[in-house]
Chains A and B, each alone.
Chain A
Amino acid sequence: MVTSSSLVYLIGLPLFGATFLLLMGRKADKWGHLFATAMSAGSFALGVAHFLAMTNRATEERALTQTLFSWIKVGDFDVDAALLLDQLSICFVLLITGVGTLIHIYSISYMAHDENRRRFFAYLNLFVAAMLLLVLGNSYLNLYVGWEGVGLASYLLIGFWNQKPAYATASKKAFVMNRVGDMGLSFAIMIAFATMGTVSFEGVKEAVERAGTPALTAMGIMLLVAAVGKSAQFPLQAWLGDAMAGPTPVSALIHAATMVTAGVYLIVRSNFVFDAAPTAQLLVVIIGAITLIFGAIIGMAKDDIKKALAASTMSQIGYMILGAGLGPIGYAFAIMHLLTHGFFKASMFLGAGSVMHGMNDEVNMRKYGALRKFMPITFITFGLGYLAIIGVPPFAGFYSKDAIIAEAFNSGGVKGVLLGSVALLGAAITAFYMTRVMVMTFTSKARWDDGTDPHESPALMWLPMVILSIGSVTSGLLLYRGDALKNWLYPLFDHGDHHELHEELLPHSVVTILAVSMVVIGVTVALLKYQFKDVAAVAPTDVSWATRFARNDLGQDAFNEAVFMRPGQALTRGLVTVDEVVIDGAVRGVGSMAVDSGSTLRRTQSGYVRSYAALIFVGALALLTVIWVVTQ
């Protein structure tokens, strides 16, 4: 393992930016955004330098480590605060700092009129630093710090406009639901510590063979819980839609491109655990499959452009989780989809932000329409992202998503057929709802409110969108061509005997044809429904129960409320009662018992010496009686 002393600056630059801007206060208002952007860009440049250096090294020497300090040293248990930059981390570093920097640039303009822009940039920098720590940590404990850090940054940024109670509530909701996942991660760390005595990736990887399957399954499930919480997967998905309360760049960076994919990273990083725990791995694919359909269905019903995109994010991460759950054959594709998704989803979110910017912050797509003519650049960049996400060749999503669908089919047996069908169905639905978004926003008839003056956004905003859309066009091909990413990541995963197990159910070309035809069906239906018919400017209310159910996020909030919140409240109330009656009662009881016994015994304390003497006399009598009885 090669050591390096410059890894810390990857994190250090944005962390310094965040600290500096928060400490400087209003003094930094004028240039804070530029400073933060510079920090992020510096980190990106460093990441690129590391990447270039890495490509020049031999495969087995690519990973870099840096030990910062000895963090926890208790007996045999020794955790260093150390960083690890390997082939997997560098993908994330580039994605985080690259997309992050673009979004910093975008935000300069987007947040120009917000008086708290400096604080916003400080939080963005904080997020970048925490996310980098998450992907660079060399142990679960270091990862955990970053994990919590991004949770904090996400909380701060969702609630950035916390003067609106609904937004503040949304941030709290995201925070609380993330806690459930965080608990899973902490349990996973505890299991690793208890059964393997180590929490570093290296150590756990080596200890996997020694650890029993039950422990690994438990750890795998707990890691999955963590991933589910952070990546808004079923059943902890409810926070993502509300997280759209944050400024749009935040939605683009945190709740589309990077943070929500941390769950995928965690699963891929823990590949050695999941490979050894088939039950946990099966759960991973099940969760992924459920979520990709779940998110897609919600996406069909949403009129809020950001919420539709959020539902799509959920669904796309479902694909990644599905891919990651397929084992060594899927990890690379999960990461590939993650990277391409980072491009096209960020591009679309920024596009949505641009639309909102030009439409007086209107988010309801039923109030859009015909924006193609007014926002050509936004239309083009958004459209490229759209083509990428629905999987039209040769755009990015085509390669990554098709690969996952194909591997799902190839995972063998009934499972393979089921997963493949679900993934295909998801692709069709994705095509439908993304076309719906596209059509309702850009190509259908205008349905604006009076006084709306749609206009293209300034260059500082469309430039990042252009760059990202270029990424969404090319990244798929670049990563897929010659199995570039697969080979890049290959040394990280244990491919063992999986090759024999997996037989090809369907050839890749058949899957591609199937997938493309599903996309065509989806797009056609959407076009028929929205392009060639008028879209109501107000959401129709006489809709089927299914639509209503989907609009209500498939009852996720009602479910959470009924299953978790109400019993939780009841439990809390019960505990308060128990606290008041039993615990306080015991405490007060002890007190009043002491007082009562004291006031009772006080009567014997007359203060008269003679009564004390009498008591002694009686005591002596008792003693004599005892002697009498004993010597009987």
Chain B
Amino acid sequence: MLEIATPEAILFWALAPLSVVAALGMLLVKKAVHSAILLAWVMITLAIFYIAQEALFLGIVQIVVYTGAVMMLFLFILMLVGVDASDSLVETIKGLRWIAITAAVGFGGLMVALIGRATMGRSYVGLELANADGNVEGIAMLLFSDYVFPFEVISALLITAALGAMVLAHHQRANHRPSQREQAIARFRTGSLGDAAGLPGPGVYALHNAVDVPALLPDGTPAPTSISATLKARGDVIESANFQLDVVDPTVKEEK
């Protein structure tokens, strides 16, 4: 069957494989941030498809709400939880991956086969008539007539969800938060006097004074406590040995 490629077909065949690849990538990449970016790409692709299917309003909403707001929320939480939490892709539950893949092949195959069977030889209507007054107007018409009650209900749901999220995320302190003064007193009371001055600051000599280089202790070893745990976990720590001066040879006389 030869069909003249319409612009929509070109668009579809160009973007659909990309979105599938991006979706698969979501599963395979290690870092959650990368997954989020790939998902954002899939969503944008879908938004384009919506617009291509004469669903202008939904396409815009998809970009604004989903790719904009929801994905931002995801990224924000990722930041909160720790970008360093990179996923190990090694499966821990025995056989689960194989079950998932087998089920996925079966599921996908059956879905495709069923869609094929259901749509075989069918024609479609198209939205020319429904969108006669414009897509946004058409949706508004439905939303505020037939669907006004669900619309109201869903607004209540939205408010409830917002409230629920606040309740869940609200952190009730179990104990009194120590003031600076109390912390200072506690530092002297407990622990060694060595900690009394606070954790050592990072940085080594003047050559490289930065937060990602551990400080050196008097005996020349790097001080692990001088580096933020986040940086360490991320692997963004630079060895301080790199910046250590050569061992001073006392026998060598300084040249004039």
Interface residues of A (CB under 8 A from B): 606, 608, 610-611, 614, 617-618, 620-621, 624-625, 627-628, 631
For B96, the chain A residues whose CB sits under 8 A away are 610-611, 614
> Could you say which residues of chain A place their CB within 8 Å of the CB of B113?
628
A64 smallest CB distance to B (angstroms): 83
Cα–Cα, bound, A625→B105 (Å): 13
* Minimum distance in angstroms from A624 CB to a CB of chain B: 4
**A-B pair number, CB within 8 angstroms:** 35
Confirm or deny: B69 has a beta carbon within 8 angstroms of a beta carbon on chain A: no
B 174-210 to A, binary, CB cutoff 8 A, 1 in contact else 0: 0000000000000000000000000000000000000
Residue of B nearest to A631 (CB): B117
Give the contacting residue for A614; candidates B100, B106, B110, B111; CB below 8 A.
B100
Check if B153 is an interface residue, CB within 8 A of chain A.
no
Known A608-B93, A627-B114; contact A621-B107, beta-carbon cutoff 8 A: yes
CA distance A621 to B111 in the complex (A): 9
Residues in chain B near residue A625, CB distance under 8 A: 106, 110
Which residue of chain B has its CB nearest to the CB of A608? B93
> Sorted from nearest, which 9 A-B pairs have the closest CB atoms?
A624-B110, A617-B103, A621-B107, A621-B103, A621-B106, A618-B103, A614-B99, A628-B110, A614-B96
Task: Identify A631's interface contact among B93, B106, B114, CB under 8 A.
Answer: B114
Q: Which A residues are in CB contact (< 8 Å) with B106? A: 621, 624-625
User: What are 25 pairs between A and B in contact, CB < 8 Å?
Assistant: A608-B93, A610-B93, A611-B93, A611-B96, A614-B99, A617-B99, A617-B100, A617-B103, A617-B107, A618-B99, A620-B107, A621-B103, A621-B107, A621-B110, A624-B107, A624-B110, A624-B111, A625-B106, A625-B110, A627-B114, A628-B110, A628-B113, A628-B114, A631-B114, A631-B117
Residues of B within 8 A of A (CB): 93, 96, 99-100, 103-104, 106-107, 110-111, 113-114, 117
Which residues of the other chain, B, contact A621 by a CB distance below 8 angstroms? 103, 106-107, 110
C-alpha spacing A618/B117, complex, angstroms? 22
Determine the chain A residues whose CB is within 8 A of the CB of B107 once the complex forms: 617, 620-621, 624
In the bound complex, what is the Cα–Cα distance between A498 and B148 (angstroms)?
98
Shortest CB distance B156–A (Å): 28
* B110 partner residues in chain A, CB cutoff 8 A: 621, 624-625, 628
Chain A interface mostly helix, strand, loop or mixed? helix
Residue of A nearest to B104 (CB): A617
A631: chain B residues at CB < 8 Å are 114, 117
Give Cα A624 to B114, complex, Å. 9
Instruction: Give B248 Cβ to nearest chain A Cβ, in Å.
Output: 58
Given contacts A617-B104, A627-B114, 19 further A-B contacts (CB under 8 A): A611-B93, A611-B96, A614-B96, A614-B99, A614-B100, A617-B100, A617-B107, A618-B99, A620-B107, A621-B106, A621-B107, A621-B110, A624-B106, A624-B107, A624-B111, A624-B114, A625-B106, A631-B114, A631-B117
Closest chain B residue to A613, Cβ basis: B100
Q: Give Cα A621–Cα B106 distance, bound, in whole angstroms.
A: 7
Q: In the complex, which residues of chain A have a beta carbon less than 8 angstroms from the beta carbon of B117?
A: 631
Q: A628 contacts which chain B residues (CB < 8 A)?
A: 110, 113-114
**A621 to B103 Cα, complex, angstroms:** 7
Q: In the complex, what distance in Å separates the CA atom of A627 from the CA atom of B110?
A: 9
Report chain A residues within 8 Å CB of B114: 624, 627-628, 631
**List of B residues within 8 angstroms of A614 by Cβ:** 96, 99-100, 103
Q: State the CA gap A628–B107 with chains docked (Å).
A: 11
> Smallest distance from the beta carbon of B60 to chain A beta carbons, Å?
32
Q: Which residues on the A side are within 8 Å of B93 (C-beta)? A: 606, 608, 610-611
Q: Which residues of A contact B103 (CB under 8 A)?
A: 614, 617-618, 621
Docked Cα-Cα span, A396 to B113, in Å, equals 111
Tell me the bound Cα distance from A486 to B93 in angstroms.
101
- B114 → A minimal CB distance (Å): 6
Chain A's nearest CB lies how many Å from the CB of B97?
Answer: 9
Q: How far is the CB of A602 from chain B (nearest CB, A)?
A: 16
Within the assembled complex, what's the spacing in Å between the Cα atoms of A617 and B97?
A: 12
Residues of B within 8 Å of A624, CB to CB, are: 106-107, 110-111, 114
CA of A513 to CA of B50, assembled, Å? 130
- Nearest CB in chain A to that of B91: its residue: A610
CB A246 to nearest CB in B, in angstroms, measures: 82
Enumerate chain B residues within 8 angstroms of A627, measured Cβ to Cβ.
Answer: 114
- Nearest-neighbour CB distance to chain A for B256, whole angstroms, equals 72
Q: Please, which residue of chain B has its CB at the minimum distance from the CB of A616?
A: B103
With CB as the reference atom, state the residue of chain A lying closest to B110. Answer: A624
Distance, CA A176 to CA B113, complexed state (A)? 81
Tell me the smallest distance from the CB of A618 to a CB of chain B, in Å. 5
Bound together, the chains give a CA A620 to CA B93 distance in angstroms of 21
Bound-state CA distance A438–B111 (Å) is: 111
Question: How far is A606 from B96 in the complex, measured between Cα atoms in Å?
Answer: 12
B99 nearest CB neighbor, chain A only: A614
**A624 CA to B108 CA, complexed, in Å:** 10
Distance, CA A541 to CA B103, complexed state (A): 96
- Give the nearest-CB partner of A618 in chain B: B103
Complex Cα distance, B101 from A617, in Å, reads 10
Q: Which residue of the partner chain B has the closest CB to A619?
A: B103
Q: How far is the CB of B107 from chain A (nearest CB, A)?
A: 5
| Neighbouring A residues of B104 by C-beta, 8 Å | 617
Please, how many angstroms separate the alpha-carbon atoms of A624 and B117 in the complex? 13
> Which B residues are in CB contact (< 8 Å) with A617?
99-100, 103-104, 107
CA distance A557 to B114 in the complex (A): 86
Query: What is the CA–CA distance of A618 and B105 in the complex, to the nearest angstrom?
Result: 11
Output the least CB separation between B229 and chain A (Å): 28
The CA-CA distance from A617 to B111 in the complex, in Å, is: 13
**Alpha-carbon distance between A302 and B114 when the two chains are bound, in angstroms:** 101
Contacts of A618 in B (CB 8 A): 99, 103
Task: Tell me how far the C-beta of A18 lies from the nearest C-beta in chain B, rounded to whole angstroms.
Answer: 75
State in angstroms the CA–CA spacing of A628 and B103 once bound together.
15
Q: How far is the CB of A631 from chain B (nearest CB, A)?
A: 7
CB of A628, distance to nearest CB on chain B (Å): 6
> CA separation between A608 and B113, bound complex, in Å?
32
Bound-complex Cα distance A611 to B99 (A): 10
How many whole Å from A300's CB to the nearest CB in chain B?
93
Residue of A at shortest CB range from B100? A614
Please measure, in the bound complex, the distance between the C-alpha atom of A344 and the C-alpha atom of B92, giving whole angstroms.
101
For the complex formed, measure the closest distance between the CB of A374 and the CB atoms of chain B, giving whole angstroms. 105
